[in-house]
Amino acid sequence: MTATASSPLLSGALLIGGERITEASGGTYRHVYPGTGVPNAAIPMAGHGEIDRAIDSAWEAHREWMSYPVDRRRDLLFALADVVRDHFAELAELNVHDYGVPIAMAGNSVLTERFLRYYAGYADKTHGASTPVAGAFDVNIVEREPYGVVGVIAPWNGPLVVAGAAVAPALAAGNAVILKPSELASLAPLRFGELCLEAGLPPGLVNVLPAGAEGGDALVRHPRVGKIHFTGGQATAQKVLQAASHNVTPVTAELGGKSAYLVFADADLDMAAVIAAHQGPITQSGQSCACASRILVQASVYAGFVEKLVAAVQAAKIGDPLRPDVMLGPVITEAAAERILGVIDQAVSEKAGDLVTGGRRLGGELASGYFIEPTIFTNVDNRSTLAQTETFGPVASVIPFGDEAEAVRIANDSRYGLNAFVATSDLERAHRVARRLEAGSVWVNRHSDIEPQGPYGGYKQSGFGRTGGVEGLYEFLQVKNIRIGMS
């Protein structure tokens, strides 16, 4: 399956109404493998015509889907979970080819399976109620109904996670889905769409359309799309919201973060350092909205913790993402590498903090890829650009604090509010601090590990709406009130 400079390109496609389409009106994107800088796939890009066709087929599939008994829809979603499980290895390798995530961390289709099983269980459950009203004998019924066709815009850094967190509840709620992956990572989402067919879902129920800005805009503006779920950056979110306003289409947005990890003196510092290293610059080379890129450490243990953190970061093996022992791979593109190195250079020139490890692009056998050393700055000013702007790369800032109140103040001094992390052995403090942190999710003495049972989403400029839990299901249902006069 591996594509090299001398081998044929991997074949991308659109999936519309069960048909694999290899030529589209949006042109062809030449995908480059981040590990080598060599093109590895040709990706057809959807334009207006393909968007229209996909929405037509999705509405037809939605009507068929809703004609099935609820237990049949439930069982088909369980069957899809089984099929995804049977293709874990294939999907993981496609993730590597898509965005260079190390194979050791590429198995996020496990999450896809978990979300499918969780939401399959909701497909045949009650989502309405009968409520009392003023009329003594009137009947008032509250129902939740699907939107019909929804658009799911997935980011390049984990499209299969979005396939689980957004596509699964959308299907369980009764919708058909137009899944628009980034052109930077469309191979694994395309295969997921094909697996939907193999599991027996109606053709068109999950259409997969890689597209750039033009195709994405056409999807969001389309009058027959009832809801948009968007995962990505703030700048693109603003464009999505503006386009959605054309038809007043509701949007769920899961955006970026500049999450703080609060390390108190009573914490298990060895464990906290390992978690901070992986939650910060190592996992996906820091290219995750869930990253803890601000590490706040109590002053009394600051120096010792920094030593442990640097050791943990330097122990992570960097290299070919297809090697099972590699923990840190490349960043997504040459442009991303240049941007991240620019952030590092700016932080050094502005004296935002002390650069203690990393900061360089790797050469040698990795020179053709987009590899950047995991980078740690200490004694960082939380008001600096480095501490306030999402870097989306393997860069973390370590900031000292004196007491609990100062730690919470620094953590909350951000326009973002997606995640927060707390390391402490004091359970009372854990509860107290967690409730004071302005973040949609707080993780105590552990890394982030999204599960379908827990609602996930942001505060402030990290977005609105939730994935996971019954809250995630309700994002794809609209409320109808029915009152029947009985007097």
DSSP code string of 37-84? TEEEEEEE---HHHHHHHHHHHHHHHHHHHHS-HHHHHHHHHHHHHHH
Instruction: Name every residue whose Cβ is closer than 8 Å to that of residue 89 and which is 6 or more positions away in sequence.
Output: none
DSSP code string of 361-399? B--GGGTTS--B--EEEES--TTSHHHHS---SSEEEEE
Residue at token pair 């360089």: 360
Tokens of 432: 């107290």
CA gap 51, 208 in Å, rounded: 10
Residue at token pair 């999907």: 91
Distances (CA, A) of 436 to 424, 432, 439, 473: 15, 7, 9, 27
Which one of 183, 194, 254, 475 is the catalytic residue?
Answer: 254
| 254 flagged as catalytic | yes
3 state DSSP class of 323:
coil
CA gap 271, 297 in Å, rounded: 14
CA gap 410, 415 in Å, rounded: 12
CA gap 421, 279 in Å, rounded: 10
What angle (nearest 5°) sits at the alpha carbon of residue 361, between those of residues 356 and 366? 130
Inter-residue contact 187 to 207 (CB < 8 Å): no
Residue at token pair 């914490």: 267
Count the neighbouring beta carbons within 10 Å of the beta carbon of residue 338: 12
3 state DSSP class of 100:
coil
Tokens of 434: 């967690």
CA gap 224, 56 in Å, rounded: 9
Active site residues: 254
